[in-house]
Amino acid sequence: MDERVARRLGTIWQSDRPWRVLSTLAEFEDRLGGHPGEKRAAEFLRDELEALGLDNVREKSFAIPEWTRGETSLLVHVHSRDRERTFEARALPYCPESTVEAPLVDVGYGTPAELDDSEVEDAIVVASGATPPSADRFVHRTEKIGHAAERGATGFIFANHRPGQLPPTGSLRVGDTLPAVGVSYETGEWLREYAREGAAARLNVTASVEPGTSQNVRGRFGPETDERVLLLAHYDAHDVGEGALDNGCGVAVLLSVVEALSGLDLDRSVEVALVGCEELGLQGSETLAANIDTDDVHAVVNLDGVGRERTIQALTHASDEIETLVEEVFETVGHPVEIGDRPHPYSDHWPSLRRGIPTLQVHSQAGGETGPWERGWTHTRADTRDKVDRRTLREHAMLAALLVRELAGADLERIDPDRLKAELSDAEPSMRAAGVWPDAWDE
């Protein structure tokens, strides 16, 4: 390894920036898209990019439907016991204001087969938030909710699969009419039992949607080149927790990468983008992708999920060249890595990937028996700074810096849309249910 590069990587190990950035973001209350905490975070990150000496630092706003939660209540009437119980429930962002009374129906993991085997029409369904053990890919909540809506369900209850009295959240699509809420694992266990006994539920949600704004923060460093690497991370978070893991860690890693690489000799420039509203349907990255010339973007590196768990993962999204590059980088430094080549549409790389730009998502995983798609503490009130390990944050920042540096000098083929479509063909019905199947693929 070049001595100068090694010294720069050493600055990450000694720098207080990763922990300071993470701590500051965690202190901003309510970083949900369009809310005051998100705006304060954008201003803070703009100042950080300027302090790092980046060129053309700017903050650009874009319009969003701003969703604000009110009160949510869940009451269950158990006819067989002549008993009523209330449970804590949390409305999912973009859940419409509504009151629904209907039978409870347990649909297991919420797969299409389980929904078809249940009487879900005009019912409030209860589904686990976990990906089914038999699945060979991550199954997103919007897929389950979309499938339930197609079959006539009148409400959706999303039960955490991790114990701890932690109702999960996670956005719906703008304009969804099926009310959906999250409940804890413990509540989910009660609801499944009550559903078997023929119980009914009343779900009440108050919420508002008003015109609002979010913002992306951008800057650049490196040589003036025709092509550039787009390095991005989302800084917004759900309003129920601190957003330290999702995605304060990714932002802290990104700024450490910038600190390590700016001033080094790179083959291509690096465009930095800190995007808002990822948690509300990738609105920041969609806006970004719609306003850049894709021919000028050599590759995208998405730092979403990195630094929050011990095992580093590289998701290469059907790029053989990026997969080879990752293998070589980690073999050189003697560090283990988990590589996944299957593309997915549920993070900020997707607007660029579907336009054919090679993308790498740097992620992390707890490992062990939690499963390859375990969400962990994120999207709950337990997403707090105390879950973060400083050593992991620094190590992942060093490794991400090496990946960005090598990608800047690599020869990469554009992603063949036919291959991308083929890789996702078995997920097509679910992606359609979730509203993320590209319209262009139907032409």
- Residues 36-75: tens digit of each pLDDT: 999 999 999 999 999 999 999 999 999 999 999 999 999 9
Dist. CA 96–CA 151, nearest whole Å: 19
One domain for residues 352 and 373? yes
One domain for residues 42 and 80? no
Residue 282 lies in a domain: yes
One domain for residues 126 and 9? no
* Per-residue pLDDT at 384: 98
* Per-residue pLDDT at 302: 98
One domain for residues 50 and 170? no
Which CATH number covers residue 352? 3.40.630.10
Given 148, 182, 210, which residue is the final one in a domain? Answer: 210
pTM (whole model) above 0.85: yes
* Per-residue pLDDT at 372: 47
Residue 377 lies in a domain: yes
Residue 255 lies in a domain: yes
Residue 376 lies in a domain: yes
The closest alpha carbon to 144, from 175, 174, 120, belongs to 120
Given 168, 195, 210, which residue is the final one in a domain? Answer: 210
Angle at 157 between CA 153 and CA 161, to 5 degrees: 135
Dist. CA 284–CA 137, nearest whole Å: 25
Residue 442 lies in a domain: no
* Per-residue pLDDT at 135: 87
Q: Which residues are CB-neighbours of 210 under 8 A, at least 6 positions away?
A: 65, 66, 68
One domain for residues 9 and 74? no
* Per-residue pLDDT at 134: 86
Residue 26 lies in a domain: yes
Q: Which residues of 53-72 are buried (b: 16+ CB within 10 A; e: fewer)?
A: ebeebebeebebbbbbbeeb
One domain for residues 42 and 83? no
Given 170, 190, 210, which residue is the final one in a domain? Answer: 210
One domain for residues 314 and 400? yes
* Per-residue pLDDT at 276: 98
* Per-residue pLDDT at 374: 66
One domain for residues 399 and 409? yes
One domain for residues 217 and 272? yes
One domain for residues 188 and 221? no
Structural domain total, the chain: 2
Which CATH number covers residue 144? 3.50.30.30
Find the domain containing 27 and state its range. 3-65+212-434
Dist. CA 72–CA 240, nearest whole Å: 13
- Does residue 435 contact residue 142 with C-beta atoms inside 8 Å? yes
Residue 74 lies in a domain: yes
Distances (CA, A) of 1 to 9, 56, 219, 332: 11, 31, 27, 9
* Per-residue pLDDT at 6: 80
* Per-residue pLDDT at 399: 97
One domain for residues 199 and 260? no
Strand bridging mode 359-365 / 311-315: antiparallel
Residue 443 lies in a domain: no
* Per-residue pLDDT at 283: 98
Residues of the chain with pLDDT under 70: 1, 367-374
Q: Which residues are CB-neighbours of 127 under 8 A, at least 6 positions away?
A: 107, 108, 109, 110, 144, 148, 156, 157, 158, 159
One domain for residues 109 and 46? no
